[in-house]
Amino acid sequence: MTDTGNWGGGQDGFVDVRPRPGEAEFYDSAPTPSDSFLELRDLRVQFPTDDGLVKSADGLSFTLERGRTLGIVGESGSGKSVTSLAIMGLHKNTRARITGEIWLDGEELVGASVERVRALRGKKMAMIFQDPLSAMHPYYTVGTQIIEAYRIHNKVSKAAARRHAVEMLDRVGIPQPGSRVDDYPHQFSGGMRQRAMIAMALSCDPELLIADEPTTALDVTVQAQILDLIRDLQQEFNSAVIIITHDLGVVAELADNIMVMYAGRTAEYGPTDDIFRRPQHPYTWGLLGSMPRLDRERADRLLPIMGTPPSLINVPSGCAFHPRCNYASLTGGRSTDEVPVLHSVDGEHSVACHLTAEQRLKAWETDIKPKL
C-alpha cells in the first residue's frame, strides 16, 4: 500500500484522506506530483534512540490548498510539532528518519536536497513558534531579526530591509514600529513578541504558514487578538495555514479542516463543522468533553480523558487509543489487534476507528452529546 515498506510492515498505515482513485498503486517508482498546494503522503518521522524507535509521525496524509486553514489537534507528544518540523525540513541533518512524501506546490521535499529545502524555508513556508521569548534571539533587536529573515531571500539594501521590517511591524499591529524596531525581544510584552514573530515569519510573503501553538504561551485576552491577526493576514496574503494546537477552541475559530492526531497517527479528519457537530472518534469526544465551556453549568465537571498519552516507543497494539477508550470492548478485540484504517464517513470527514457507524452514532447521541 505504501512505497516505503522498509519499516517492518506491522504498523502499516492509512489510506489517504482524500481518495485519489487508482493513484496509490502507481507511484512505486516515480511518485506522481501532487495537484494540491501542500500534500503529505504517508509521512513517517522516526527517531532511533537507545530505548527504541520513536515513531513520532506514523503514516500521515493530508492535503491543503492556498487560502485554507488546517488545524492539527492532539495532546502533547502526539506528533503535531514533529510533523510541522518535517514539512519545514527542520529534521534534515538530524537523526530523524523521514519517509513518505511532502509535496509543496509541485515540489517534493522529503527527497529534496538540504540546500533546496533551505531556500524554500522562510520564503515559501514559514513558521511561528510557541514561545516567542525563547524563539527569538535574546541578543539581537527585533528589527535585526526581521531584517535578517527578509534579506536571506531578498537581495535588498539594509535600509530597504529596515523599511520593510518597520512596515511589517506596523502591519501586525505594533504601535510606533519605527522605534520599536530597535527594541530587543525582552523589551516587548508577550503578545507583542508573538506579533513580532509573526511579522518575521511573514516578511517574505510565505505561501504556507505553520503556527505551532501560537497562542499557548499568551494571556487569554491576547490569544484572541493573535488569532484574529493570523486570520486577517491569511486573507490578505491568501496563504495556506496550518495551526497546531491542543486547544480545540483555537481551531474552532480559525480552521477550515481539522485533523485530530493521536500517537503519531490521524484519528479523525474532516471539516471543522463536522468535527464539532458530528465527531466520530472516541478520542475526539474526549477532547471535546475536556474543553471548558461558558455555557455549561459550573456544577458539571469537565470530562477528562482517562490515562496518559502513550509513549511513542511502545505504541499500544491495534488502535493506539484502545487502552483509554471506553468503547474498545465493543469491537470484539479488533481494537487491540488491528490498526484501524482511516476511512471516509461522509465526504471529506473520515475516521480511524473500529466501531461501526451505528455504534458511534449511538455512543455519541446517548453518552457524549448530552454531557457536552
Partner 1 sequence: MITFIVRRLLGAVLMLLVVSMVTFAVFFLVPRIAGQTTDQLATQYVGRNPSVTQIHAMEVKLGLDQPIYVQYGRFLKGIVAGADYDAGPDRTHCPAPCFGYSFKNQQPVWPQMLSALPVTGSLAIGAAILWLVTGVGIGVLSALKRGSIFDRTAMSAALAGVSLPIFFTALLSLAIFRDSVPLFPDAGNFIPFSESPGRWAEALVLPWVTLAFLYAALYARLTRAGMLETMNEDFIRTARAKGLSERKVVVKHGLRATLTPIVTIFGLDLGLLVGGAILTETAFSLPGLGRFAVNAITNQDLPEILGVTLLAGFFVVLANLIVDVLYAVVDPRVRY
Binding status of residue 303 toward partner 1 by CB under 8 A: no
| Minimal distance, residue 158 CB to partner 1, in Å | 15
| Minimal distance, residue 88 CB to partner 1, in Å | 6
Place of cell 503519531: 264
Binding status of residue 14 toward partner 1 by CB under 8 A: no
Question: Which of 102, 120, 255, 368 lies at the binding interface for partner 1 (CB under 8 A)?
Answer: 120
Q: What residues from 171 to 230 belong to the interface with partner 1 (CB under 8 A)?
A: 184, 186, 197, 200-201
| Minimal distance, residue 150 CB to partner 1, in Å | 9
The CA angle 221-227-228, to the nearest 5 degrees, is: 95
Q: Which stretch binds partner 1 (CB under 8 A): 104-112, 144-152, 312-320, 346-354?
A: 144-152
Binding status of residue 50 toward partner 1 by CB under 8 A: no
What is the C-alpha R_g of the chain? 21
Question: Which of 18, 66, 123, 334 lies at the binding interface for partner 1 (CB under 8 A)?
Answer: 123
Nearer Cβ to partner 1 (91/324): 91
Question: Which of 12, 65, 105, 148 lies at the binding interface for partner 1 (CB under 8 A)?
Answer: 148
| Minimal distance, residue 134 CB to partner 1, in Å | 4
| CB-based contact 109:92 (threshold 8 Å) | no
CA atoms of 288 and 308, how far apart (whole Å): 16
Question: Which of 71, 100, 122, 270 lies at the binding interface for partner 1 (CB under 8 A)?
Answer: 122
Q: What residues from 79 to 98 belong to the interface with partner 1 (CB under 8 A)?
A: 85, 88, 90, 93
Binding status of residue 149 toward partner 1 by CB under 8 A: yes
| Minimal distance, residue 123 CB to partner 1, in Å | 6
CA 215 vs. chain centroid, Å, equals 14
Binding status of residue 169 toward partner 1 by CB under 8 A: no
Nearer Cβ to partner 1 (16/212): 212
Query: Could you list the residues that contact partner 1 (CB under 8 A)?
Result: 85, 88, 90, 93, 118-123, 126-127, 129, 131, 134-139, 141, 148-149, 152-153, 184, 186, 197, 200-201
